[in-house]
Chain A
Amino acid sequence: MSSETLIAVSKLSRYYGKFCALREVSFEVKRGQVLGFLGPNGAGKTTTMQLITGTLAPSAGEITVAGYDLLEQPLQAKAALGYLPEQPPLYRDMLVSEYLRFCAELHQVPRAEINKAVNYAAGRCGLGEVFSRLIGNLSKGYQQRVGIAQAIIHNPAVVILDEPTVGLDPIQIREIRNLIRELGEDHSVILSTHILPEVQAVCNHVQIIKNGALVLNDTIDGLLAQMQSNSLQIGLRRLPTDLQGFAQLLGVESVEMIDAQHLRIGHSAAHNPAEAIAEYAVTQGLGLFELRPEQRSLEQIFVDLTCTEPEVMEEVA
């Protein structure tokens, strides 16, 4: 895995009239990264993708794809891109094979290699059975797969997928996720989605965007570390009336009652008091039946980051 930067976006802004959809966003994607792009509706995910693929012109800022400036050398930059828009760009009156062939030609795959490219893309996306059927007659899931095949047919360095698993059944979703993971090994992949587990499943980088500004840009590992919060949840059959006993254990910083049988115990990062709590609970005969570290889910982080009230909005502005 080389660390060559394939996409570099700096201070990218986009206005629709006076409405600012994207404000000075900067990030980089390296080869071998699968970047998950998250955000609530209207946050600017699709706009960012359209800007990177050149289907929208930026109001300000620079985009470099595979070393080519998108505005200065659009053709070279676009040749390194594969793009699946939100709505797959399919010609309903063409056969799958014809369509893929057309896409290969459009992306300047050398004539001698077109057949190979078409078969490769069709094979990768599981299109063998529908290869000679009319696109208009395919189910939504298959159409989506044709759209993905179209995006990878010319073996681009960068693959950009806008909500690629919409409308697929669970088995197909798994296949597509595997495909994306495989693609991520030797390409850069940017994918936008609102399915949070998907990000955890396939991405190694995460960006969360809100109101046109990046609010989080981290690796999945970093995010997982953030998700480890310093608290334990314990369940006791016979809750003591006095909680002081817990508070005196080493490392415990706070004790909070959740309901009649559960306590939340906050602890310092240095000392995890789980063992001490268990011993204490046993010696006191409290009927310990549950003891688990609390984890913030990705969903919680997402909600925390995107649903905070206006003061963050001002900070962004």
Chain B
Amino acid sequence: MWSIAKRELQALFLSPLAWSILAVVQIILGLVFAVRVSMFLEPDFQAQLSQVANPPGITSLIAGHVYVWASIVFMLVTPLLTMRVVSEERRNKTLALLISAPVSMTQIILGKYLALLIFFGIMASVISLMPLSLLVGGALDMGQLFSGFLGLLLLTAAFAAIGLYISTLTAHPTVAAISTFGSLLLLWMIDWAGGSEEQSGLLGYLSLTNHYQMFLKGLLSTSDAFYYLLLISLFLILSIQRLDADRI
């Protein structure tokens, strides 16, 4: 399992894809961060803040903002990373090597998933360095920051699981990428139809964003974490089943 994860990461970092994704994400989010910080420092904005009875802190305003953007950018990037994971193996006929080796399907899928998680972990950590840099000039609500970070990780882990599953369905990376993007976007906006209120029930529960919002507010609730874990295990199990079904 570890050797599969290691190879997967190796392949990722040997291709320019991983580096360009890291660079692009960093540039976009760096810009978001810089604009937000400079806006925060505007006298006008400070004046507005002082008028509000219970003003949001620097952590919500800046770190929260960066994390919201990060989640959107990650959603766009996930399909690019997950598309080739299994479909390319299928296309290059290398899947036979893994299947005829003494590793189970579960280990193959988990190994590949682990590699994706490590990559997203690196990406999320690098992003988090930006809000952390604010520590130089002020105090941060570390609890809220950590909760946001955890939320981002869980969210992207869910993205990755969905992407991995879709990648097992096809031999064409492009098809996998487009379907993954579509599914993620659908899950993202699934509660829009339910109206603006939170009472949109099932659709609201299914929405990826609703749960993420809670983490950003600094609310660590097991039900939200559970939602992500449920989603992740569902799609991992589906992936294993799908790969197993290949043999039949």
Residues on A lying within 8 angstroms of B by beta carbon are 50, 53-57, 74-76, 78-79, 81, 83, 85, 87, 89-94, 98, 102-103, 105-108, 150
Contact = CB atoms under 8 A, between A and B. Distances in A.
A91 B96 contact: no
Given A57-B248, A105-B3, A85 B93 contact: yes
B46 interface: no
A55 B92 CA distance: 15
Given A50-B96, A90-B94, A105-B3, 10 more contacts: A54-B99, A54-B247, A57-B248, A78-B100, A78-B101, A93-B15, A94-B11, A102-B6, A103-B101, A106-B97
A105 B2 CA distance: 9
Given A93-B11, A93-B15, A98-B10, A74 B96 contact: no
A212 B12 CA distance: 42
A79 B102 CA distance: 5
Nearest to B11: A93
Contacts of B98: 106
A266 B248 CA distance: 52
B186 interface: no
Interface in B51-88: none
A50 B95 CA distance: 12
Contacts of B96: 50, 53, 55, 83, 85, 89
Contact of B100 (A53, A87, A98): A53
Contacts of A50: 96
B94 A75 contact: no
Nearest to B108: A106
B11 A89 contact: no
B11 to A, nearest CB: 6
B100 A108 contact: no
A54 B100 contact: yes
Output the residue of B14, B102, B248 with the most chain A CB within 10 A: B102
24 contacts: A55-B99, A55-B100, A55-B247, A74-B104, A75-B102, A78-B101, A78-B102, A79-B102, A81-B100, A83-B96, A85-B97, A87-B93, A89-B92, A89-B94, A91-B7, A91-B92, A93-B14, A93-B15, A102-B6, A103-B97, A103-B101, A106-B98, A106-B103, A107-B102
A87 to B, nearest CB: 4
Contact of B247 (A57, A87, A108): A57
B4 interface: yes
A83 B247 contact: no
A102 B14 CA distance: 15
B102 A108 contact: yes
Interface string B161-204: 00000000000000000000000000000000000000000000
B100 A150 contact: no
Contacts of B104: 74-75
B3 A106 contact: yes
A53 B93 CA distance: 15
A92 B95 CA distance: 14
B160 to A, nearest CB: 21
Contacts of A108: 102
A130 to B, nearest CB: 18
A76 B102 contact: yes
A203 B17 CA distance: 47
B64 to A, nearest CB: 39
Nearest to A57: B247
Nearest to B15: A93
Contact of B103 (A75, A76, A87): A75
B4 A106 contact: yes
Interface in B1-58: 3-4, 6-7, 10-11, 14-15
Contacts of B101: 78, 103, 106-107
Q: Which 9 A-B pairs have the closest CB atoms?
A: A89-B97, A105-B3, A79-B102, A89-B94, A57-B247, A53-B100, A78-B102, A83-B100, A87-B93
Contacts of A55: 95-96, 99-100, 247
Given A57-B248, A85-B93, A103-B97, A91 B102 contact: no
B248 to A, nearest CB: 5
A55 B245 CA distance: 11
B247 A102 contact: no
A150 B97 contact: yes
B7 A102 contact: yes
A148 B104 CA distance: 23
A99 B100 CA distance: 16
Output the residue of B4, B15, B96 with the most chain A CB within 10 A: B96
A156 B248 CA distance: 26
Contacts of B100: 53-55, 78, 81, 83, 85
Contacts of A92: 92
B134 to A, nearest CB: 40
B56 to A, nearest CB: 47
